[in-house]
Structure 1
Amino acid sequence: MLRLFLSVDMVGSTEFKARFTGQGSEGWLGIFQTFFTSFPLMAAGQIGMEFLDDDATPAIDVWKVMGDEVVFVTSPTSAEELTSILTALLRTIQLYEERHFQRLPLRLKGTAWLAGFDGQNIEIEIPELSSGTGAHLDFIGPDIDLGFRISKFARPGSLVISLDVLEVVLGAGNADRAALYLMGAEPLKGVMFGRPYPIVWMLEAGERFAFLPWEIEQDPMMAQAAGMAPTPRAELTQTIEDMRHYLRKMHGRERAPVRLG
């Protein structure tokens, strides 16, 4: 089974909370409580609207909350469903910022990655956290770690996606709903035997990066993206094939194409 993990994290939260040093949590606690309660509800609403004309709406659950980050998990049944979930999440990020962060120095960024559980990744039931309505599952493995590695390269108002997610989106019948940007490659600890891993950002098609002027001034990747057009499909496909070729030739590893459903 393949599961899709979606992380949404606050940008600027550490500096914001530091403003209230010596004042306790009263100055910032309500803002974070609102995020952890309202964002999942808003995401569920956007996903419900996305699949309004479908027979069923994908179930998306909160896996865990860590610091200023909420991580969702779901099991998309098709490439089209996965792509629609990602576009709904992007809209949720945009709407939440517009409604709650207009006068606050806070932003949201997202990460999306896939993990399979028929081999190197495992699911663990945590009995202490189980309830009468079902078991609490935790997820462990290298593909889980990958998501948290690439999240370092997420930027406000957009998603950073893994190569597996990229491959699924490129093969979707609604791939034209996604605008994809290859931002270079970065070495990630414990990933691809040290070979730099491609960094891919996603927006909803027709949207532009909504970086603020001072964000662009301080971050070379955001400055680069602000003037970019979406990366051609052929270049993205070649990037995936290059990584597959590298794993096969240099490490004897076969990485089969990702298939959902």
Structure 2
Amino acid sequence: MSNQVDAGGDSQIQLEDSQTRLFFSVDLVGSTAYKQTEHRWQPKFLSFYREFPQCLADSLRKQKDNLRKGTSLPKPVFWKAVGDELLYVCPVRNVAQVKMAVDAWLDAQAKYEENTLKKEKLQKTKGAVFAATFPGPDCMVAIPRDPGDQADSDRSVIELNDAAVKKLAASNKMADDEYLLDFLGPSIDTGFRVIAQSTDRYFTMSLEAAWAYSESTRATESEKKNHVVEFLCERQLKGVWGNRPYPIFVIDRMADDRVNIALKKMYNSHCDPERINEIFMACATSKNWPSRLYFKGNDLPFVSSLPKDVIHDGDNSSTDMKGYEEQDKNPDNDTSKDDYSKVDDTTFDYLVRGRSKGRAKGDKKNNITRLSKTVSTFDITSPRHYS
């Protein structure tokens, strides 16, 4: 039996292996207003559904031409559409594949804007990426098109789901006449919160995706050839990490703008790989962190250790894995009794610089803090709300 699902062309998603997957989002900026004011808005969106995937395919072909010997190309493949937002999924086995996939995605966004949107009222896209790991803390679910067909089954819901997933695997499809494959878990929920912070300028990234991309740049010859991962802010994401402020990392798609370059001199948003690594380790080993990564052979034990199969082992402590036990016993990492409805300005300054920082004079209390002497915020209003 095949353990892969065909998601288009020769791209396949492995179903049963322990694996980390990237999830990508792209959306048209201003689409709601456009549909409200333009009589014939349909052709533009039909074009988006067809032309963006073509731009992505072109970017992947360019990546393939530049592959180093012994490396394989990750392939983002279509997952589903949520209104006019397109979601893709991409299995990755190491940090190098994360970088290739993210670079291809950003290149596709730029190509689509330049080739298709340049002379249109809809001129920008916004995008994001997050990581999720299977079979724990996240899982795959086969949603029945007609749940009534199994209403009288004596099997448990886990057994029914296993059988349906294997059925999809046998046919190499993400959907058939009976089931639709979907992904669930704390990383998925967190990821959609991260997506909601994206703008046409800021390509937002979950911490795991930001860390992996940053780590991959260590091996490159020149940082000028890479997109730069920046720390944007801490923000409370509803329901995530016990409402503790979550670190939002971004790639600035307008980093070459002269005004943006000048303004960035007023604060320090750039994070080198060492700083991002320190933040990643501190968060990933803290109590109740919602997500994790799995890359076989990675130097970090909590990245290279096999994820627990939380569906079948009866253990719901999805981040309780080898390498975490000692950190979880440390009272400094116990956040269960902490009140994060109010932000402590020292949080990230302590993690990165090893010292506390007082609140900047005149700054109003809110749920965003910055790594800088001058506290700055950006307007990254959430474009949608997820329950």
TM interval, shorter chain, is 0.7 to 0.9
* 2:270 aligned partner: 231
Cα RMSD of the aligned pairs, angstroms, is 3.1
Q: CA deviation at 1:36?
A: 0.7
What is the CA distance between 1:42 and its match in structure 2?
Answer: 1.2
In the other structure, the counterpart of 1:48 is: 61
Task: Give 1:1-261 correspondences, 5 Å limit.
Answer: 1-20=19-38, 23=39, 27-54=40-67, 56-106=72-122, 107-126=124-143, 128=145, 133-136=172-175, 137-172=181-216, 173-174=219-220, 176=223, 177-203=226-252, 208=255, 231-233=270-272, 234-244=274-284, 247-248=286-287, 258-261=293-296
Structure 2 CA distance, aligned partners of 1:229 and 1:96?
A: 31
Task: Judge conservation of contact 2:22–2:92 (CA < 8 Å) in 1.
Answer: yes
Could you say if the C-alpha distance between residues 210 and 92 of structure 1 is closer, same or farther in structure 2, counting changes exceeding 3 Å? farther
What is the deviation of 1:199? 1.0
For residues 146 and 63 of structure 1, the distance between their equivalents in structure 2, rounded to whole angstroms, comes to: 17
Assess, with a 3 A threshold, how the Cα gap between structure 1 residues 259 and 142 changes in structure 2: closer, same or farther: closer
**More deviation, 30-39/130-139:** 130-139
Distance 1:39 1:226, change over 3 A: farther
Greater mean deviation of Cα atoms: 77-86 or 45-54? 45-54
TM-score by length of 1: 0.80
Structure 1 residue 143 displacement after superposition? 0.8
Q: Which runs of 5+ in 1 are unaligned?
A: 217-222
Q: Measure, in 2, the Cα distance between the counterparts of 1:224 and 1:149.
A: 27
Report SS of the residue matched to 2:109: helix
Give, in whole Å, the separation in 2 of the partners of 1:18 and 1:58: 38
Query: Residues of 2 paired with 1:143 and 1:101: CA distance?
Result: 32
Structure 2 letter corresponding to 1:146: T
User: What secondary structure sits across from 1:50 in the alignment?
Assistant: helix
Aligned-partner Cα distance in 2 for 1:108–1:95: 11
More helix by share: 1
Task: Please identify the structure whose Cα radius of gyration is greater.
Answer: 2
Query: What is the Cα deviation at residue 49 of structure 1?
Result: 0.9
| Cα distance in 1 for residues equivalent to 2:236 and 2:256 | 24
Q: Secondary structure at the match of 1:116?
A: strand
Task: Count how many residue pairs are aligned between Structure 1 and Structure 2.
Answer: 241
- Distance in 1 of aligned mates of 2:290 and 2:190: 18
Distance in 1, matches of 2:211 and 2:244, equals 19
- TM-score under structure 2 normalisation? 0.56
Query: Aligned partners of 2:89, 2:239: CA distance in 1, in Å?
Result: 23
Q: Is the 8 A contact 1:97 1:108 kept in 2?
A: yes
How far apart, CA to CA, are the structure 2 residues paired with 1:103 and 1:143?
37
CA drift at 1:16: 0.9
Q: Percent identity?
A: 25
Tell me, in whole angstroms, the C-alpha distance in 1 between the residues paired with 2:78 and 2:173: 14
Structure 2 runs not aligned, ≥5 long: 1-18, 147-167, 176-180, 297-387
Q: Which amino acid aligns with 2:295?
A: L
Post-superposition shift, 1:61?
1.1
Amino acid at match of 1:239: I
* Deviation for aligned residue 1:163: 0.4
Residue 226 (structure 1) shift: 9.6
